[in-house]
């Protein structure tokens, strides 16, 4: 990790302004040995083998949680979300089918009600049209 510019005490600088680094290299300087208040839910910031930033929770006694266990839990939860999204799509399609069926049944009921009114005995033609 690069130490940063001499005298860099009160800020975090991302990137390097020298001409000798690759344009996509990123350095975070000015954060070594800096005290922070971890609060009730502390996390450690890490960089994985692919260079992606992430965090890892630290439990109440200050030991790192198992990264693989965290990854497994995340993947399990992600799979659950995908399953729920698929279920939602199926339910929405089912609701659309049921709505169409209800509209069709409503039209059939109205048609039958009109036919029933027309076929009532004892009514004159004039009463049937009113």
Q: What is the pTM of this model?
A: 0.40
Per-residue model confidence (pLDDT) at position 102? 98
Comparing 11-20, 28-37, 111-120, the range with the smallest average pLDDT is: 11-20
Per-residue model confidence (pLDDT) at position 5? 55
Per-residue model confidence (pLDDT) at position 29? 63
The mean per-residue pLDDT over the stretch 38-67 comes to 69
**Residue whose tokens read 């680094």:** 21
Q: Give the angle 73-58-1 at the CA atoms, nearest 5°.
A: 105
Per-residue model confidence (pLDDT) at position 2? 43
In which band, very low, low, confident or very high, does the pLDDT at 1 lie, cut at 50, 70 and 90? Answer: very low
Gap between the Cα atoms of 84 and 90, Å rounded: 10
Comparing 24-38, 40-54, 108-122, the range with the smallest average pLDDT is: 24-38
Structure tokens at 30: 């000015």
CA distances from 52 to 46, 49, 68, 129 (A): 8, 7, 16, 77
41 with 57: CB under 8 angstroms?
A: yes
Per-residue model confidence (pLDDT) at position 104? 98
Q: Is 105 helix (H, G, I), strand (E, B) or coil?
A: helix
Per-residue model confidence (pLDDT) at position 71? 77
pLDDT at 46 > cutoff 70: yes
**Sign (positive or negative) of CA dihedral 68, 73, 74, 78:** positive
């Amino acid at each position: 990790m690069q130490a940063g510019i001499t005298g860099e005490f009160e800020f975090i600088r991302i990137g390097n302004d020298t001409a000798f680094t690759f344009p996509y290299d990123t350095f975070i300087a000015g954060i070594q040995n800096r005290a922070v208040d971890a609060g009730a839910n502390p996390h450690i910031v890490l960089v994985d083998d692919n260079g992606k930033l992430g965090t890892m929770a630290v439990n109440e006694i200050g030991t790192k949680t198992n990264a693989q266990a965290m990854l497994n839990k995340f993947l399990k939860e992600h799979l659950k979300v995908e399953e729920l999204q698929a279920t939602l799509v199926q339910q929405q399609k089912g609701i659309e089918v049921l709505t169409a069926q209800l509209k069709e049944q409503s039209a059939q009921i109205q048609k039958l009600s009109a036919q029933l009114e027309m076929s009532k005995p004892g009514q004159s033609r004039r009463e049937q049209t009113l």
